[in-house]
Structure 1
């Protein structure tokens, strides 16, 4: 027997060799479990962190167009917008709404008008975007629109099954 009473077996972190082996085995098993969970979630997630593959209607419309019309459809669907200007305007609208919410005495009429203004801006944007989509869809042939509708139905059914 040694001075420490372990029959010549070296201790690891104060544990007997058998307990150290068990601890190492459990640690490895836990690590593999965590890696498996993380890997499984990474495989299940789409490109931008949502469940399932990424789906954008505008991309589907562009992909449905024949090669000779694809550039024209892309130009209609993906019209460039000044994102910095949009973000600055949105930030200013939100700051105004926050100021109106914090204002004392509370002015419900002014806040309601600010919400209505925000809704009108959003509606104008949606109207412009929807008009562009209608023009883009008008460029597709009947067969291309039927194929697009079939693909959209597939995505809707898959989403309904997932929800």
Structure 2
């Protein structure tokens, strides 16, 4: 009698392409998890001054630091919540579509490009909401308040790496 394990060799391992696709899928899933987790952690009472992730997702980067606590609250209050939710959902959908395109076999470049375009469009929508709310708030400020904001913005830009040119 012969050994039943004879001739079977070692078990097959996934090919390099499958490993890359799985790694990219994991990265996209972690990105989505980070966006959702960051949004959840950024909301709620107890957020103190300083960098506000909600404002950064709206394209307001250094203003998240430069605005006073009251002005940050006023900017976020000015944003249409339904439009904000719609843009965030669109961003999430496009990231899922990108993940699916990445793992498709064969790779579907056109689907990946469409998903990235959807992501860009949603990000631009979020920025548009944030920029409009910021301008609405700045418009309510006196000249002295705007000068104070400009000074805090300059300091924030220096802290962020000297982008105050």
The two structures have a TM-score, normalised by structure 2, of 0.48
Higher relative contact order (CA 8 A, sep 6+): 2
Q: For the pair shown, which has the larger CA radius of gyration, 1 or 2? A: 1
The two structures have a TM-score, normalised by structure 1, of 0.49
